Amino acid sequence: DWDERRSIPFPLLAPLARVPGITLHVLQRGRGLTEQPPGFGVVSGSDNILQAARVMRALDLVISVDSMTAHLAGALGVPVWSLLHAEADWRWMDGREDSPWYPTKRLFHQEQPGNWVPVIARVADELAVLAGAMVQASASP
């Protein structure tokens, strides 16, 4: 079910789109797509779970709020970063950045209810580090 606490408006995600060396794939489905700014990533979402799984398997990383998308990526063993609201479900254990349920999942907790800005900034910083490392690795002989 849709939960406002697990929803991030597209404009707040703009720092992710500015990370050099990446291509965003938007896995969002349904009404949220109407908020997507023009040029903000490639729409790759699907209501078909098998198609969604195929898309995820082809990605280097999935970034998502606590949703079916995040759980599917974790179950597939795809690296996934989950953005969690301040009162996240008990499964995401306060104070932990990892998940005992999904070894490829990294957790980014909101510190203040409703304030996604510092979470997105941290994710963008970490994404820039990851993208830089991937560029270096691909350039190595």
- How many structural domains is the chain composed of? 1
Q: Are 6 and 83 in contact (CB under 8 A)?
A: no
- Of 4 and 73, more confident: 73
Q: Does the residue 19 lie in any domain?
A: yes
How many percent of the chain have pLDDT more than 90?
A: 52
Q: Which residues contact 129 (CB under 8 A, 6 or more apart)?
A: none
Average pLDDT over the chain reads 87
Token pair in block for residue 83: 């953005």
Q: What pLDDT shows up at residue 3?
A: 65
Question: Quick check: 45 pLDDT over 80?
Answer: no
Q: Does the residue 1 lie in any domain?
A: no
No. of H helices and E strands in the chain? 4, 5
Q: What range does the domain containing 132 cover?
A: 10-139
